[in-house]
Amino acid sequence: MNFSRFSGCLVLLGLLWNCSPKDFDPFATVKPDETRFTKVTLVEKLNEPMELEVLDNGDVLFIERAGLLKLYEAATGETTVVGELDVYIEGEDGLLGLAKDPNFNQNHWIYLYYAPNDYSPDVNRLSRFDFVENRLDLSSEKIMLEIPVFRGCCHSGGSIEFDANGLLFLSTGDDTTPFESDNYNPIDERQDRPANVDAQKTSGNTNDLRGAIIRIKPEADGTYSIPEGNLFPPGTPNTRPEIYVMGNRNPYRISVDQHTGNLFWGEVGPDASVDSARRGPKGHDEINLATKAGFYGWPYFVGNNKPYWKYDFETQESLFEFDPAAPVNTSPNTTGIEQLPPAQPALIWYPYDESEEFPMLATGGRNAMAGPVYHREDYENSAVRFPGYYNDKLFIYDWMRNWIFTVSLTENFEYDTMERFMPSTVFDKPVDMQFAKDGSLYVLEYGTYWRAQNDDSGLYRIEFAPGNREPVAKAKANQQTGAAPLEVNFSAEGSMDFDPEDQLTYFWDFGDGSSAGTTPNPSHTFEKPGIYPVTLTVTDTEGEKASTKLEIQVGNERPQVFIEWAGNTSFYFEGQPVDYSVQVVDREDGEIDSEAIDFSIDYISGGFDLIQAGHQEEQVSVGENFITQAGCKACHAIANESVGPTYQEVSAKYKGQSDAKEYLIDKIRNGGGGVWGGERIMPGHTHLPEEQVGQMVDFILALEDPDYGKVNWPLEGEFSPKQSDNPEGYYLVQASYTDQGANEIAPLRGNVQLILRHPDVKAVTADQFENTAKANANGLNFVRFTQRNSWIAFDQIDLRGIRQVEILVNPAGIEGRLEIRLGSPTGPRIGISEILLQGDRRGYITEVIPLKKTNETADLYFVLKTDSGISIWNTFNLDRIQFLK
What CA–CA distance (Å, rounded) separates 296 from 449?
31
CATH value at residue 294: 2.120.10.30
User: Confidence class of residue 773 from pLDDT cuts 50, 70 and 90?
Assistant: confident
Last-in-domain residue among 757, 785, 809: 757
Residue 36's pLDDT is 95
Instruction: Tell me if 553 is assigned to some domain.
Output: no
pTM over 0.75? The answer is no
Residue 633's pLDDT is 61
Q: What is the mean pLDDT of residues 367-382?
A: 95
Kindly state whether residues 313 and 216 are assigned to the same domain.
yes
Q: What is the mean pLDDT of residues 103-110?
A: 98
Please state the residue numbers annotated as binding site for heme c: 632, 636, 682
Please state the residue numbers annotated as binding site: 632, 636, 682
Residue 838's pLDDT is 58
Kindly state whether residues 197 and 97 are assigned to the same domain.
yes
Work out the mean pLDDT of the chain and round it to a whole number: 90
Per DSSP, helices labelled H in 570-673 are 610-613, 622-629, 647-653, 660-670
Residue 815's pLDDT is 81
Instruction: Tell me if 46 is assigned to some domain.
Output: no
Kindly state whether residues 510 and 393 are assigned to the same domain.
no
Closest CA to 490 of 519, 466, 512, 522: 522
Residue 325's pLDDT is 98
Last-in-domain residue among 700, 728, 757: 757
pLDDT digits (tens, 9 = 90+) for 724-733: 777 788 899 9
User: Confidence class of residue 609 from pLDDT cuts 50, 70 and 90?
Assistant: very low
Instruction: Tell me if 555 is assigned to some domain.
Output: no
Greater pLDDT, 427 or 383: 427
Kindly state whether residues 297 and 178 are assigned to the same domain.
yes
Q: What is the mean pLDDT of residues 159-171?
A: 99
Residue 687's pLDDT is 66
Query: Among 683-697, 768-782, 846-860, which range has the highest average pLDDT?
Result: 846-860
Q: What is the mean pLDDT of residues 476-499?
A: 96
Residue 597's pLDDT is 96
User: Confidence class of residue 781 from pLDDT cuts 50, 70 and 90?
Assistant: confident
Long-range contacts of 140-147 (CB under 8 A, 24+ apart): 142/221, 142/222, 143/222, 144/111, 144/216, 144/218, 144/222, 144/223, 144/224, 145/170, 145/209, 145/214, 145/216, 145/224, 145/242, 147/123, 147/172, 147/209, 147/210
For residue 15, pLDDT beyond 70:
no
Kindly state whether residues 752 and 816 are assigned to the same domain.
no
Instruction: Tell me if 457 is assigned to some domain.
Output: no
User: Confidence class of residue 635 from pLDDT cuts 50, 70 and 90?
Assistant: confident
Instruction: Tell me if 4 is assigned to some domain.
Output: no
337: which residues sit within 8 A by CB, 6+ positions away?
206, 207, 237, 238, 239, 329
Three-state DSSP class for residue 569? coil
User: Confidence class of residue 21 from pLDDT cuts 50, 70 and 90?
Assistant: very low
Greater pLDDT, 710 or 388: 388
Last-in-domain residue among 394, 427, 460: 427
User: Confidence class of residue 837 from pLDDT cuts 50, 70 and 90?
Assistant: low
Kindly state whether residues 620 and 745 are assigned to the same domain.
yes
Kindly state whether residues 272 and 299 are assigned to the same domain.
yes
Q: Which uninterrupted H or E stretch holds 818?
A: strand 816-822
CATH value at residue 615: 1.10.760.10
**CA distances to 485, 554, 556, 750, 770 from 481, in Å:** 11, 6, 7, 12, 39
Kindly state whether residues 719 and 848 are assigned to the same domain.
no
What CA–CA distance (Å, rounded) separates 32 from 419?
13
283: which residues sit within 8 A by CB, 6+ positions away?
183, 269, 270, 271, 272, 273, 302, 351, 352
For residue 678, pLDDT beyond 70:
no
Burial of 607 (0-12, 13-18, 19+ CB in 10 A): middle
Residue 5's pLDDT is 33
99: which residues sit within 8 A by CB, 6+ positions away?
51, 53, 110, 111, 160, 161, 162, 168
User: Confidence class of residue 613 from pLDDT cuts 50, 70 and 90?
Assistant: very low
**CA distances to 57, 269, 327 from 318, in Å:** 58, 21, 17
User: Confidence class of residue 542 from pLDDT cuts 50, 70 and 90?
Assistant: very high
CATH value at residue 495: 2.60.40.10
Residue 280's pLDDT is 96
Instruction: Tell me if 330 is assigned to some domain.
Output: yes
CATH value at residue 766: 2.60.120.260
Kindly state whether residues 637 and 506 are assigned to the same domain.
no
Q: What is the mean pLDDT of residues 199-211?
A: 98
What CA–CA distance (Å, rounded) separates 341 from 328?
9
Kindly state whether residues 786 and 721 are assigned to the same domain.
no
Q: What is the mean pLDDT of residues 817-843?
A: 85
Instruction: Tell me if 462 is assigned to some domain.
Output: no
Least confident span in 65-74, 387-396, 626-635, 741-750: 626-635
Kindly state whether residues 569 and 510 are assigned to the same domain.
no
Percent of the chain with pLDDT over 90: 73
Kindly state whether residues 782 and 677 are assigned to the same domain.
no
| Total of domains in the chain | 4
What CA–CA distance (Å, rounded) separates 47 from 445?
10
Domain that holds residue 583: 560-757
Instruction: Tell me if 19 is assigned to some domain.
Output: no
Per DSSP, 813 falls in state T
For residue 657, pLDDT beyond 90:
no
